Amino acid sequence: MLLEASGVNVVYQPGRGERIWAVRDVDLSLREGEFVGIVGESGCGKSTLGFALTQMLRPPAVLDSGMIAFRGTDITSLKGDELRRQRRRGFALVLQSGMNALNPVRSIERHIGDLLKAHPLPGEHWSGEAIRSRGRELMSMVELDASVLSRFPHELSGGMRQRAAIALALALEPELIVFDEPTTALDVIVQAALMDMIKGLQRSRGFTAVLISHDMSVVLDATDRTIVMYAGRIVEDRRSVDMVPDRIHHPYTEALFGCYADPRADEVVLLDIPGTPPDLSLADHDCSFAPRCTLAIDICLRERPRLCDVGGGRVACHLYPDARGEVG
Ligand code: SF4
Ligand code: MG
Protein backbone atom coordinates (compact mmCIF):
# COMPACT_ATOMS: atom_id res chain seq x y z
CA MET A 1 0.00 0.00 0.00
CA LEU A 2 1.39 3.43 -0.89
CA LEU A 3 -0.61 5.35 1.68
CA GLU A 4 -2.76 4.25 4.60
CA ALA A 5 -4.80 6.69 6.64
CA SER A 6 -6.75 5.57 9.67
CA GLY A 7 -8.98 7.38 12.12
CA VAL A 8 -8.09 10.77 10.61
CA ASN A 9 -9.84 13.74 12.27
CA VAL A 10 -9.04 17.31 11.20
CA VAL A 11 -10.33 20.24 13.23
CA TYR A 12 -10.44 23.95 12.37
CA GLN A 13 -9.95 26.18 15.38
CA PRO A 14 -10.78 29.64 14.03
CA GLY A 15 -11.26 31.30 17.42
CA ARG A 16 -11.06 30.56 21.10
CA GLY A 17 -13.27 27.61 21.96
CA GLU A 18 -14.48 27.17 18.39
CA ARG A 19 -13.95 23.73 16.87
CA ILE A 20 -15.17 22.69 13.44
CA TRP A 21 -14.79 19.03 12.62
CA ALA A 22 -13.91 19.20 8.92
CA VAL A 23 -12.72 15.58 8.50
CA ARG A 24 -14.15 12.86 10.72
CA ASP A 25 -12.81 9.33 11.30
CA VAL A 26 -11.50 8.83 7.78
CA ASP A 27 -9.98 5.43 6.94
CA LEU A 28 -8.48 5.29 3.48
CA SER A 29 -5.84 3.32 1.58
CA LEU A 30 -4.24 4.23 -1.74
CA ARG A 31 -2.59 1.57 -3.86
CA GLU A 32 0.39 2.28 -6.09
CA GLY A 33 -0.60 3.66 -9.48
CA GLU A 34 -4.25 4.08 -8.51
CA PHE A 35 -6.26 7.14 -9.60
CA VAL A 36 -8.81 7.96 -6.90
CA GLY A 37 -11.46 10.69 -6.99
CA ILE A 38 -12.94 12.41 -3.94
CA VAL A 39 -16.28 14.06 -4.62
CA GLY A 40 -18.79 15.98 -2.54
CA GLU A 41 -20.39 19.39 -2.04
CA SER A 42 -18.32 22.37 -1.01
CA GLY A 43 -17.39 22.17 2.69
CA CYS A 44 -17.61 18.36 2.87
CA GLY A 45 -13.95 18.10 3.91
CA LYS A 46 -12.50 16.81 0.64
CA SER A 47 -9.84 19.54 0.23
CA THR A 48 -8.98 19.38 3.92
CA LEU A 49 -8.45 15.63 3.58
CA GLY A 50 -6.21 16.28 0.54
CA PHE A 51 -4.17 18.73 2.60
CA ALA A 52 -3.90 16.21 5.45
CA LEU A 53 -2.74 13.41 3.12
CA THR A 54 0.10 15.61 1.80
CA GLN A 55 1.00 17.13 5.19
CA MET A 56 -0.04 20.59 3.98
CA LEU A 57 -2.51 21.44 6.75
CA ARG A 58 -1.90 24.93 8.10
CA PRO A 59 -3.50 26.66 11.11
CA PRO A 60 -6.33 27.07 11.91
CA ALA A 61 -6.61 23.48 10.57
CA VAL A 62 -4.90 20.83 12.66
CA LEU A 63 -4.76 17.07 12.58
CA ASP A 64 -6.63 16.24 15.78
CA SER A 65 -6.01 12.50 15.68
CA GLY A 66 -5.29 9.65 13.34
CA MET A 67 -2.39 8.08 11.51
CA ILE A 68 -1.23 8.62 7.94
CA ALA A 69 1.43 6.18 6.79
CA PHE A 70 3.30 6.74 3.55
CA ARG A 71 5.14 3.56 2.51
CA GLY A 72 4.84 2.41 6.10
CA THR A 73 6.23 5.61 7.71
CA ASP A 74 3.87 7.65 9.85
CA ILE A 75 4.23 11.10 8.24
CA THR A 76 2.05 12.94 10.75
CA SER A 77 4.91 13.35 13.22
CA LEU A 78 7.59 14.39 10.67
CA LYS A 79 8.86 17.95 10.80
CA GLY A 80 11.49 20.16 9.12
CA ASP A 81 14.23 18.25 7.27
CA GLU A 82 12.62 14.86 7.84
CA LEU A 83 9.40 16.04 6.23
CA ARG A 84 11.32 17.69 3.39
CA ARG A 85 13.19 14.43 2.73
CA GLN A 86 9.92 12.49 2.70
CA ARG A 87 8.40 15.04 0.37
CA ARG A 88 11.31 14.61 -2.06
CA ARG A 89 9.98 11.80 -4.29
CA GLY A 90 7.01 11.53 -1.91
CA PHE A 91 3.94 13.64 -2.46
CA ALA A 92 2.82 16.87 -4.08
CA LEU A 93 -0.35 18.98 -4.09
CA VAL A 94 -1.76 20.93 -7.06
CA LEU A 95 -4.24 23.61 -6.05
CA GLN A 96 -7.24 25.14 -7.76
CA SER A 97 -5.57 28.24 -9.12
CA GLY A 98 -2.05 27.94 -10.48
CA MET A 99 -1.52 31.55 -9.40
CA ASN A 100 -1.64 30.57 -5.72
CA ALA A 101 1.18 28.09 -6.19
CA LEU A 102 3.32 30.54 -8.14
CA ASN A 103 5.26 33.55 -6.92
CA PRO A 104 4.36 36.55 -9.11
CA VAL A 105 7.90 37.95 -9.16
CA ARG A 106 9.63 34.73 -10.23
CA SER A 107 9.89 33.21 -13.70
CA ILE A 108 8.72 29.63 -14.22
CA GLU A 109 12.35 28.51 -14.60
CA ARG A 110 13.25 30.17 -11.31
CA HIS A 111 10.39 28.27 -9.60
CA ILE A 112 11.70 24.99 -10.96
CA GLY A 113 15.28 25.82 -10.00
CA ASP A 114 14.33 26.84 -6.45
CA LEU A 115 12.39 23.61 -5.96
CA LEU A 116 15.15 21.34 -7.30
CA LYS A 117 17.80 23.11 -5.21
CA ALA A 118 15.66 22.94 -2.07
CA HIS A 119 15.32 19.14 -2.34
CA PRO A 120 18.66 17.83 -3.66
CA LEU A 121 19.41 14.13 -3.68
CA PRO A 122 22.76 13.20 -2.07
CA GLY A 123 25.57 14.49 -4.31
CA GLU A 124 23.17 16.30 -6.62
CA HIS A 125 24.13 19.76 -7.84
CA TRP A 126 21.82 21.85 -9.98
CA SER A 127 23.71 24.18 -12.34
CA GLY A 128 21.88 26.79 -14.40
CA GLU A 129 22.17 24.60 -17.51
CA ALA A 130 20.92 21.47 -15.67
CA ILE A 131 17.90 23.42 -14.38
CA ARG A 132 17.14 24.74 -17.88
CA SER A 133 17.35 21.26 -19.32
CA ARG A 134 15.06 19.79 -16.62
CA GLY A 135 12.74 22.77 -17.15
CA ARG A 136 12.50 21.99 -20.88
CA GLU A 137 11.68 18.35 -20.09
CA LEU A 138 8.95 19.42 -17.67
CA MET A 139 7.45 21.92 -20.14
CA SER A 140 7.22 19.20 -22.75
CA MET A 141 5.47 16.86 -20.24
CA VAL A 142 2.77 19.47 -19.63
CA GLU A 143 2.58 20.40 -23.31
CA LEU A 144 3.92 23.93 -22.93
CA ASP A 145 6.50 25.61 -25.15
CA ALA A 146 10.00 25.89 -23.65
CA SER A 147 9.72 29.69 -24.01
CA VAL A 148 7.29 29.62 -21.04
CA LEU A 149 10.30 29.00 -18.78
CA SER A 150 11.42 32.62 -18.99
CA ARG A 151 7.93 34.01 -18.40
CA PHE A 152 6.27 35.24 -15.21
CA PRO A 153 2.95 33.88 -13.90
CA HIS A 154 0.95 37.00 -14.87
CA GLU A 155 2.11 36.59 -18.47
CA LEU A 156 0.37 33.21 -18.73
CA SER A 157 -3.29 32.32 -19.26
CA GLY A 158 -5.15 30.46 -16.47
CA GLY A 159 -4.76 27.14 -18.29
CA MET A 160 -1.02 27.70 -18.88
CA ARG A 161 -0.50 28.65 -15.23
CA GLN A 162 -2.19 25.46 -14.15
CA ARG A 163 0.06 23.46 -16.49
CA ALA A 164 3.09 25.25 -15.01
CA ALA A 165 1.87 24.37 -11.50
CA ILE A 166 1.55 20.71 -12.58
CA ALA A 167 5.09 20.85 -14.02
CA LEU A 168 6.30 22.00 -10.60
CA ALA A 169 4.43 19.15 -8.92
CA LEU A 170 6.11 16.71 -11.32
CA ALA A 171 9.61 18.20 -10.89
CA LEU A 172 10.58 15.96 -7.97
CA GLU A 173 8.88 12.88 -9.47
CA PRO A 174 6.55 12.30 -6.53
CA GLU A 175 4.80 8.97 -6.05
CA LEU A 176 1.54 10.67 -5.08
CA ILE A 177 -0.02 13.84 -6.53
CA VAL A 178 -3.21 15.30 -5.07
CA PHE A 179 -5.07 17.58 -7.49
CA ASP A 180 -7.53 19.85 -5.67
CA GLU A 181 -10.15 21.11 -8.14
CA PRO A 182 -7.41 21.56 -10.78
CA THR A 183 -9.77 22.72 -13.53
CA THR A 184 -12.15 24.96 -11.58
CA ALA A 185 -12.12 28.59 -12.78
CA LEU A 186 -11.09 27.56 -16.31
CA ASP A 187 -13.40 27.55 -19.31
CA VAL A 188 -14.91 24.25 -20.43
CA ILE A 189 -12.59 23.60 -23.40
CA VAL A 190 -9.46 24.38 -21.38
CA GLN A 191 -10.81 22.19 -18.53
CA ALA A 192 -11.28 19.20 -20.82
CA ALA A 193 -7.80 19.54 -22.34
CA LEU A 194 -6.21 19.84 -18.89
CA MET A 195 -8.05 16.77 -17.55
CA ASP A 196 -6.94 14.78 -20.63
CA MET A 197 -3.38 15.83 -19.93
CA ILE A 198 -3.60 14.86 -16.24
CA LYS A 199 -5.06 11.44 -17.17
CA GLY A 200 -2.32 10.91 -19.77
CA LEU A 201 0.46 11.92 -17.34
CA GLN A 202 -0.93 9.67 -14.62
CA ARG A 203 -0.96 6.70 -16.98
CA SER A 204 2.41 7.33 -18.61
CA ARG A 205 4.33 8.28 -15.45
CA GLY A 206 2.54 5.83 -13.19
CA PHE A 207 2.17 8.04 -10.09
CA THR A 208 -0.74 7.59 -7.72
CA ALA A 209 -3.24 10.41 -8.11
CA VAL A 210 -6.08 11.83 -6.03
CA LEU A 211 -8.49 14.12 -7.84
CA ILE A 212 -10.66 16.29 -5.59
CA SER A 213 -13.72 17.75 -7.29
CA HIS A 214 -17.31 18.79 -6.68
CA ASP A 215 -18.08 17.56 -10.21
CA MET A 216 -19.11 13.91 -10.32
CA SER A 217 -18.76 13.69 -14.12
CA VAL A 218 -15.11 14.85 -14.02
CA VAL A 219 -14.29 12.31 -11.30
CA LEU A 220 -16.09 9.37 -12.93
CA ASP A 221 -14.45 10.06 -16.27
CA ALA A 222 -10.89 10.24 -14.93
CA THR A 223 -10.57 7.89 -12.00
CA ASP A 224 -10.41 4.17 -11.12
CA ARG A 225 -12.14 4.61 -7.78
CA THR A 226 -14.55 7.21 -6.37
CA ILE A 227 -14.86 8.25 -2.76
CA VAL A 228 -17.95 10.26 -1.81
CA MET A 229 -17.70 12.53 1.25
CA TYR A 230 -20.50 14.13 3.21
CA ALA A 231 -20.13 16.32 6.30
CA GLY A 232 -16.50 15.29 6.82
CA ARG A 233 -17.05 11.55 6.50
CA ILE A 234 -16.62 9.01 3.71
CA VAL A 235 -20.12 7.76 2.91
CA GLU A 236 -19.27 5.66 -0.14
CA ASP A 237 -16.14 4.22 -1.76
CA ARG A 238 -16.23 2.00 -4.86
CA ARG A 239 -14.81 1.48 -8.34
CA SER A 240 -15.73 4.33 -10.66
CA VAL A 241 -17.06 1.92 -13.32
CA ASP A 242 -19.58 0.67 -10.74
CA MET A 243 -20.73 4.22 -10.00
CA VAL A 244 -23.84 4.11 -12.15
CA PRO A 245 -27.36 5.10 -11.17
CA ASP A 246 -29.74 2.33 -10.03
CA ARG A 247 -27.01 0.12 -8.54
CA ILE A 248 -26.46 -0.13 -4.78
CA HIS A 249 -25.41 3.30 -3.53
CA HIS A 250 -25.58 5.63 -0.56
CA PRO A 251 -28.68 7.87 -0.91
CA TYR A 252 -26.36 10.91 -1.06
CA THR A 253 -24.47 9.40 -4.01
CA GLU A 254 -27.82 8.77 -5.71
CA ALA A 255 -28.69 12.41 -5.13
CA LEU A 256 -25.33 13.50 -6.61
CA PHE A 257 -26.12 11.49 -9.75
CA GLY A 258 -29.06 13.84 -10.24
CA CYS A 259 -26.81 16.90 -9.96
CA TYR A 260 -24.47 16.34 -12.85
CA ALA A 261 -24.97 16.36 -16.57
CA ASP A 262 -24.13 13.01 -18.13
CA PRO A 263 -22.61 14.06 -21.46
CA ARG A 264 -23.97 10.85 -23.05
CA ALA A 265 -27.59 11.70 -22.24
CA ASP A 266 -29.75 13.33 -24.93
CA GLU A 267 -31.63 15.41 -22.45
CA VAL A 268 -29.98 16.79 -19.35
CA VAL A 269 -31.95 17.56 -16.22
CA LEU A 270 -29.99 18.98 -13.31
CA LEU A 271 -31.50 18.56 -9.87
CA ASP A 272 -30.45 20.21 -6.66
CA ILE A 273 -30.32 18.30 -3.40
CA PRO A 274 -32.81 20.09 -1.14
CA GLY A 275 -31.56 21.24 2.26
CA THR A 276 -28.07 22.12 3.46
CA PRO A 277 -25.20 20.16 5.03
CA PRO A 278 -25.11 20.08 8.85
CA ASP A 279 -23.26 22.37 11.26
CA LEU A 280 -19.79 20.84 11.55
CA SER A 281 -19.16 22.36 14.96
CA LEU A 282 -21.57 19.81 16.44
CA ALA A 283 -20.90 16.14 17.13
CA ASP A 284 -22.84 13.73 14.93
CA HIS A 285 -24.54 10.93 16.83
CA ASP A 286 -26.90 10.21 13.94
CA CYS A 287 -26.67 10.06 10.14
CA SER A 288 -25.68 13.59 9.06
CA PHE A 289 -27.60 13.20 5.81
CA ALA A 290 -30.89 12.28 7.55
CA PRO A 291 -32.52 15.76 7.31
CA ARG A 292 -32.07 15.66 3.52
CA CYS A 293 -32.62 11.94 2.94
CA THR A 294 -35.91 10.78 1.41
CA LEU A 295 -35.26 7.21 2.63
CA ALA A 296 -34.52 7.99 6.30
CA ILE A 297 -35.85 5.53 8.88
CA ASP A 298 -36.06 5.79 12.69
CA ILE A 299 -32.58 4.50 13.44
CA CYS A 300 -31.03 7.16 11.16
CA LEU A 301 -31.86 9.82 13.76
CA ARG A 302 -30.47 7.79 16.65
CA GLU A 303 -27.31 6.11 15.40
CA ARG A 304 -24.50 6.99 13.09
CA PRO A 305 -24.08 4.33 10.36
CA ARG A 306 -20.73 2.56 10.01
CA LEU A 307 -18.83 2.44 6.74
CA CYS A 308 -19.07 -1.24 5.78
CA ASP A 309 -18.60 -3.49 2.75
CA VAL A 310 -21.67 -3.38 0.53
CA GLY A 311 -21.96 -4.56 -3.07
CA GLY A 312 -18.23 -4.55 -3.80
CA GLY A 313 -17.54 -1.17 -2.21
CA ARG A 314 -17.93 0.61 1.14
CA VAL A 315 -21.15 2.40 2.13
CA ALA A 316 -22.23 4.06 5.40
CA CYS A 317 -26.02 3.84 5.50
CA HIS A 318 -28.55 2.12 7.77
CA LEU A 319 -30.39 0.74 4.73
CA TYR A 320 -27.66 -1.91 4.75
CA PRO A 321 -27.77 -4.08 7.90
CA ASP A 322 -24.00 -4.19 8.51
CA ALA A 323 -23.96 -0.40 8.91
CA ARG A 324 -25.73 -0.85 12.26
CA GLY A 325 -23.95 -1.85 15.40
CA GLU A 326 -21.02 -0.40 17.23
CA VAL A 327 -19.89 2.92 15.87
CA GLY A 328 -16.19 3.71 16.27
FE1 SF4 B 1 -30.61 8.10 4.61
FE2 SF4 B 1 -30.64 6.73 6.89
FE3 SF4 B 1 -28.98 6.03 4.96
FE4 SF4 B 1 -28.59 8.27 6.34
S5 SF4 B 1 -28.51 6.21 7.14
S6 SF4 B 1 -28.43 8.02 4.16
S7 SF4 B 1 -30.69 8.96 6.67
S8 SF4 B 1 -31.21 5.97 4.90
MG1 MG C 1 -12.21 22.68 -1.71
Q: Rounded to 10 degrees, what is the CA torsion of 214, 13, 232, 65?
A: 130
ipTM: 0.98
Confidence (pTM): 0.94
Asked if 97 and 160 count as a contact pair (C-beta separation under 8 A), the reply is no
Query: 108-118 vs 158-170: helix axis angle to the nearest 10?
Result: 20
**Choice between 263 and 311, residue whose per-residue pLDDT is larger:** 311
If one residue of 295, 302, 308, 310 were mutated to test the ligand 1 pocket, choosing by the most ligand atoms within 8 A of its CB, it would be 295
Classify each residue of 211-238 as buried b or exposed e, where b means 16 or more C-beta atoms within 10 Å of its C-beta.
bbbbbbbbbbbbbebbbbbbbbbbbbbb
**Ligand 1 pocket mutation, candidates 253, 289, 322, criterion most atoms within 8 A of CB:** 289
Counting ligands in written order, the one closest to the CA of 296 is: 1
Note the pLDDT tens digit of each residue in 46-87. 999 999 999 999 999 999 999 999 999 999 988 888 888 777
- Which residues are paired to 73 by β-bridges? 70
The CA–CA distances, whole Å, from 15 to 11, 48, 283 equal 12, 18, 18
pLDDT at 229: 97
For 151-167, how does the pLDDT look when each residue is reduced to its tens digit (9 = 90+)? 999 999 999 999 999 99
Q: What residues contact residue 195 under an 8 Å CB cut-off, 6+ apart?
A: 182, 183, 218, 221, 222
Task: Output the CA 287–ligand 2 centroid distance in Å.
Answer: 23
Give dist(CA 14, CA 62) in Å, integer.
Answer: 11
- Segment 159-187 mean pLDDT: 94
Which ligand ends up closest to the CA of 284?
1
Q: Is 318 in the pocket of ligand 1 (CB under 6 A)?
A: yes
How many angstroms does the Cα of residue 95 sit away from the middle of ligand 2?
9
Q: What is the DSSP letter of 58?
A: -
